[in-house]
Copies of this chain bind each other. A is one copy, B any other.
Amino acid sequence: MIDTATALELVLLHGSKQTEIIEISLKDALDHVLAEDVISRIDLPPFRQSAMDGYALSNTNSLTYSLIGEIQAGDSVNPNLKIGEAVRIFTGAPVPDTANVVVMQEKVVISGDTILVNGSLVSDMNIRTKGEQIKIGDIALNKGTIVKGVHIGFLASLGVVKVRVYKKPSIAIVVTGNELVRPGSVLSYGEIYESNGAMLTSVLEELGYNRTTVIAIKDDLNKTIKTLKDTINDYDIMIVTGGVSVGDYDFVGKALEVIGVQKIFHGVKQKPGKPLFFGKKERTSIFGLPGNPAAALTCFYIYVYPLLKKYEGAQQVNLTSVTLPLLNDYTVLGSRAQFLKARLQGSGVEVLTGQSSAMVKSIVEANVLVFLPEHSSNKKKGENVKTILLPNK
């Protein structure tokens, strides 16, 4: 068995990468990855802009100025201010080239067409200089940026209407097990409801992956071989849950071998997720995740998420991790590396009760995973631990 770092390295090394670039409307770009740098075609702001409601003038060390007009936001005027002249100006309006100061209205006394400035004048005060946010020709967002709502706002402010992004992967979730029954049916003795398909489909949907297909297979070697063989070429990423241990009826590993999937690894020194499988066949990357929902979801975040992001060319492929103090003691069982369901709250991170792979309750409550490396000793409250932030929590 390999360790967690090697496993992730192998996933990122062997996992396939999207080459197809598509151009889409900016408004549809949420959660896509930019396939090229976006260069600004404008200065932002595109002109010297008033940051205040007030008065624009050319500072001459005088405190009295004659008002010669006004400029609203959106006005296309650029009056020539002579010495001693000022214009009324509003937030967002263009500051005349001949002005070097905007005085906020609260610091001015008006008397007819004359204003008296109450306070000192400093060059460029309350003026947003042209291009202070970004200059024409500068990179607005780098290739590899995962586009979020705030990026869409930023690009809209630069006048961008279309972006080139990597096409998202097609994903299949293969659920295996004779004991699995679709929700809505009645359970017989020995059966449970299939939930990994629904869970992973929804977690993928949260991340912006909407092209997910769920395929259910019973524990039968020939059926497993046939189904996987018939479908594997249709997907960029195939996630199999269950059937990846070494039990007599865990047919997935055997079936993948028969259909010519190259095994990259099978088994990682970790808890949960020891039987994790990763392989590839032509353009398809194949994960075998444990059947237990909490273990499957943990492996999804630690290994599948980075491959999805690598596939799409993202700069940051792993979830953000930080180092934070534990809020409670934790007794380490065994020597494998551990991903613990935990909650970032208060002034640190609390490891939740119910770490068993089968326990769904703790993964429901978790908003982070705490990573403890192999052979970790028991952890005391206050010790710093690596904390992996889960998305959409």
Interface pairs A-B: 5 shortest CB-CB? A153-B199, A74-B178, A149-B203, A149-B202, A157-B195
Q: Does A51 contact B (CB under 8 A)?
A: yes
Query: How many A residues face the partner with a CB closer than 8 A?
Result: 97
Closest chain B CB from A126 CB (angstroms):
11
The answer on a CB contact under 8 Å between B154 and A195 is yes
Q: Could you tell me if B323 and A199 are in contact, using CB atoms closer than 8 angstroms?
A: no
- Pick the residue among B90, B128, B133 that contacts A360 (CB under 8 A): B133
A393 to B392 CA separation, bound complex (whole angstroms): 8
Given contacts A27-B198, A201-B27, contact A153 B297 (CB under 8 A): yes
**Is B179 within 8 A of A149, CB to CB?**
no
Q: Contacts of A322 on B, CB cut-off 8 Å?
A: 344-348
Residues of A189-243 whose CB lies within 8 A of B: 189-206, 218-219
Q: A195-B154, A344-B389 are in contact. Are A248 and B90 (CB under 8 A)?
A: yes
**Shortest Cβ distance from A185 into B: residue:** B159
Asked whether B156 lies within 8 Å of A45 as measured between CB atoms, the reply is no
Q: Which residues of B contact A178 (CB under 8 A)?
A: 72-75
Instruction: Give residues in A with beta carbon < 8 Å to B.
Output: 26-27, 30, 42, 44-47, 49, 51, 53, 72-78, 90-94, 128, 133-134, 148-154, 156-161, 177-180, 183-185, 187-206, 218-219, 245-249, 291, 293, 297, 320, 322-324, 344-348, 358-361, 363-364, 367, 384, 389, 391-393
Whether B46 contacts A191 by the Cβ 8 Å rule is yes
B157 touches A360 (CB 8 A): yes
A236 → chain B closest CB, angstroms: 20
Q: A72-B219, A91-B291, A149-B200 are in contact. List 8 more A-B contacts (CB 8 A).
A: A46-B187, A46-B192, A73-B249, A90-B248, A92-B177, A153-B360, A156-B198, A160-B183
A76 touching B190 by the CB < 8 A rule? Answer: yes
Decide if A53 touches B187 in the complex (CB within 8 Å): no
Q: Which residues of the other chain, B, contact A360 by a CB distance below 8 angstroms? A: 133, 150, 153-154, 157
**A133-B359, A367-B320 are known contacts. Are A183 and B161 too (CB-CB below 8 A)?**
yes
Q: Are A72 and B249 in contact (CB under 8 A)?
A: yes
CA of A361 to CA of B358 in the docked complex: distance in angstroms? Answer: 43
A320 to B343, CA, bound (A): 11
Q: Give the docked Cα–Cα distance between A92 and B191 (Å).
A: 9
Residue of B nearest to A147 (CB): B202
Residue of B at shortest CB range from A384? B347
Most buried by B among A185, A247, A293: A247
- Are A199 and B152 closer than 8 Å at their CB atoms? yes
Chain B residues near A291: list those with CB within 8 A. Answer: 91-92
Question: Which residues from chain B contact A393 at a C-beta distance below 8 Å?
Answer: 148
Are B187 and A42 interface neighbours, CB within 8 A? yes
19 CB < 8 A contacts A-B: A30-B206, A45-B358, A46-B189, A53-B247, A72-B219, A72-B249, A74-B179, A75-B190, A94-B189, A148-B206, A150-B297, A153-B199, A154-B199, A156-B197, A157-B293, A161-B183, A320-B344, A344-B389, A347-B384
Output the nearest chain B residue to A360 by Cβ-Cβ distance.
Answer: B154
**A389 to B392 CA separation, bound complex (whole angstroms):** 11
Q: How far is the CA of A157 from the CA of B133 in the complex (A)?
A: 50
A203 nearest in chain B by CB position? B149
